Structure 1
Amino acid sequence: MADLTREQIVTFVEAKGIKNSAGFLNDLERRDAWAFTTRPQDLDELVSFWNDKQRLGSRFELMKHSVGRRLSERDQDRAESRPFTVEKVEKGARLLAAASVLMHETIFQVPDERNPLNGIDVKSILADWNEREIQILLSRPLFDEAIYGMVRFHHRSVREYLAAVWFAEQLKGAGSRQRIEHLFFRIQYEQEVIVPSMRPVLSWLILLDSPLLHKVYNLEPELILEGGDPNSVPLEIRQKILVSICKGLDS
């Protein structure tokens, strides 16, 4: 499906009751939130946030809002017939995201479907979940619709964000920092470098862990501006990075 055009976005948000579509689009531009407008469901979440807050949030706020909305059961009858705590469903999604990143595999096998030849066996990751609970989780709109017994997160950035949240939780454990950091950094030619495949996750993780933010700032500050949500990084650090980049261009 092609991305929504600017005209389609205006039509959509006005149909949803936003009278000041120009203000909405200006805030969209200012916050660089166009990634949340590519599909109707994404845009609907953006409108929901706007209607609730009368503003657009940071990329971090919007991502958190989107994940929470997509993991919730919106049908009250089904919610009552499928008792499922928000904490459990979010924990499961974060664990699957981390497994996906670490295993370099984006596809998950749906229980009770024709067994695909590839993909992560969700039952091996969520070992204390029953098949019904796994099916409910994988049916939430955080994941694309199942095709041939396989699903994946509906967007790469969602997987990276959720994995970062999971890693941030692990960093709180006693003695776990060195073990976790070894996944993101390695020694190459006697220099510490960032593991390339972990850069997208790290760009979110630095927003959740101050020691990592300062480590990345000292090691490779450009990563802070690459992904995640640079606007959520302290202004002083952003200014120093931009000054450093400008000096590099002049030299």
Structure 2
Amino acid sequence: MSSQGPSVPLERRFSPTFRPSEDGDADRETVQPDLFGKSRFGWEVIEEKRRCVIIADAGAGKTHEMLGRARYSEQRGRHAFFIRIENISEAFEAAFDIGDAESFEAWLGSNDDAWFFLDSVDEALLKDSLTFERAMQEFAARIADARERAYIIISSRSYAWRALTDRQLLEQLLPYEPPKAEELDEEDLEEAGQAAASDPSKPADSVEVVLLDDLDDDDIRMFAAHLGAANIEEMMNEIKRTGLSTLSGRPFDLLGILAKWRSDRELGGRLGYLSHSITTQLDDIDQTTGSIDQNKLREATRCIAVSVILTGEAEIRVPGSDSTNRGFNPLEALPDWPKEDILALLGCTLFTDPVYGLVRFRHRDIRELLAAEWFAQHLAKPERRTEIEAMLIREQYGERILAPRFRPILPWLVLLDDGIRREATAIRPEIAVEGGDVASLPVEERRSLVHSIVEQIARGEDDRGARDNEAIARIAHADLTADVATLIEQHSENDDALFFLGRLVWQGQMTDCLPLLLDIACNRSRGRYARIAAARAVFTSGSDEQRDRLWDSLLEVPDGDQ
């Protein structure tokens, strides 16, 4: 299945993950790939799993992939449904993007299997923390009499997935009980036997969690070629030089990179090319209508974006649509705009195609950047600064906290307003790496941030916002190598800090730190996750001699086991 329309023949791959531990901190664990003796796989394997959760970063293309596979399954004659999780509990019959309530009822009355693509946990949580749980309860009730015939695939961003609690919720609400041997024909028995032999330890009703892999270099070259990019090898070198390799592995971000490459033949940071992407897409509206000023369009998108953040309504109602009263009404944010101009704006590629009279921002990062631009614009007005600051940073029980509703926009806002950056990072330094483009900050500020983040992790005072692989990649640059080496030495006995620092070394290719991590990876008395992070850094960036030493250590049988 193509990752960006049928003309780009990319086959997306997935990685298995470690099953979470059963202790009380399991929900705080970052989902990690488990490739020890295991292989990556494609959609054909995903669709054989009865209960599967796909974890993906923003812009990785999970919604596009889920929609594409749902359509493909439908075209093959299967019962297939794509459903927005956030709409299930409020209006199940209207929650279908592919399939509908009538075809769902037809499936219930049949004896056939069906494939459900449920997107996504993180969008559901924008409304409130219980939306996902309520949606799964409603969905489980709807398919209760046919759940053994359902293949259920759920998507989520990593930060929204609670590794133990959400898995247990799905296992409780959507258990799968395989048919008894006497109910199977000869062919089914043979397939069941092969599955059991391949993994006899795996419980039949387990929920499998997988990671959607980034595009590799060959995928990026193919993607670029199909979109008509010139000087692709030069672009690939520029991607690596500017530290955009992690971002270029995601289709949405790659589109932004390609647009900027075609325009400027050079690449800036993440902030630069996302801003360029917004401008380009708004320019298309201006050229089409010839009547709306670019600055006016930008201001309007900012107003809509901040309204979505303030209301918690991800869906935006298309003016004139009589099919729904759901979603945010953009006329409230743009009362002086003619309806036809709002329709032109909502019809641009910043927004999804309308479904049941509703659109949404195509990518959350763009929505959050635009909202941050709105806040930065109003913070610049002296008469409004105190009011806006009070919305973003609040007093609670004698402590200053970051307002949860606005946390997603703060990684961008700290780049646009110096005062907010000082205040927000003093409270939660990890906010700078949870999104945005921290690499655009001066090296001295990034050094200070890394030290502050690691100190909080070591004291157990962080809220894990910086521990996500995507967050680490944003700040993992070689110019921080000396600071990271110092921090490894300072926190050599703290496994939580080392788990973070090991991944920082791996993502930033900080080879001068590898001797320190090699000792940790070889030390059997260290914690599991600290050793995993240290070993991965050595295996991905180390010399042949360092890798050989680590292999010898891992293969060595402890004295007590001989």
Give the alignment's TM-score, normalised by structure 2: 0.41
Give the match's secondary structure for 1:192. Answer: strand
1:218 aligned residue: 426
Identity %: 29
- Cα distance in 2 for partners of 1:35, 1:96 equals 28
- Cα distance in 2 for partners of 1:182, 1:89 equals 28
Alignment pair present for 1:62 and 2:270: no
Kindly indicate whether structure 1 or structure 2 has the higher relative contact order, using CA contacts under 8 Å at least 6 residues apart: 1
- Cα distance in 2 for partners of 1:131, 1:101 equals 22
For the aligned residues, what is the CA RMSD? 2.3
Contact 2:286 2:292 in 1 (8 A): no
Contact 2:286 2:294 in 1 (8 A): no
Give the alignment's TM-score, normalised by structure 1: 0.88
Aligned length: 245
Give structure 1 stretches of 5+ with no counterpart: none
Residue 243 of structure 1 and its aligned partner are, at CA, apart by 2.4
Amino acid in the other structure paired with 2:230: G
Alignment pair present for 1:26 and 2:240: yes
Q: Which deviations, in whole Å up to 9, do the C-alpha atoms of 1:21-79 show, x marking residues without a partner?
A: 54155247x2355268425xx53432121233333210110110011111122795x34
Contact 1:59 1:229 in 2 (8 A): yes
In structure 2, do the counterparts of structure 1 residues 66 and 164 end up closer, same or farther at CA, with 3 Å as the change threshold? same
Alignment pair present for 1:90 and 2:298: yes
1:51 aligned residue: 262
- Cα distance in 2 for partners of 1:152, 1:35 equals 23
In structure 2, do the counterparts of structure 1 residues 35 and 142 end up closer, same or farther at CA, with 3 Å as the change threshold? farther
Q: Which deviations, in whole Å up to 9, do the C-alpha atoms of 1:95-132 show, x marking residues without a partner?
A: 00011111111111101112413111111210000110
Give the match's secondary structure for 2:251. Answer: coil
- Cα distance in 1 for partners of 2:414, 2:399 equals 21
Contact 2:256 2:274 in 1 (8 A): no
Q: Higher helix share goes to which structure?
A: 1
Residue 11 of structure 1 and its aligned partner are, at CA, apart by 1.1
Alignment pair present for 1:133 and 2:347: no
- Cα distance in 1 for partners of 2:455, 2:304 equals 42
Q: Which deviations, in whole Å up to 9, do the C-alpha atoms of 1:174-193 show, x marking residues without a partner?
A: 32111111211111221001
- Cα distance in 1 for partners of 2:440, 2:239 equals 20
Contact 1:9 1:37 in 2 (8 A): no
Give the match's secondary structure for 1:193. Answer: strand
Give the match's secondary structure for 2:400. Answer: strand
In structure 2, do the counterparts of structure 1 residues 245 and 37 end up closer, same or farther at CA, with 3 Å as the change threshold? closer
2:251 aligned residue: 38
2:409 aligned residue: 201
Contact 1:111 1:134 in 2 (8 A): yes
Contact 1:145 1:151 in 2 (8 A): yes
- Cα distance in 1 for partners of 2:245, 2:384 equals 34
Larger radius of gyration: 2
Alignment pair present for 1:234 and 2:448: no
Contact 1:200 1:228 in 2 (8 A): no
1:112 aligned residue: 320
1:185 aligned residue: 393
- Cα distance in 2 for partners of 1:36, 1:140 equals 24
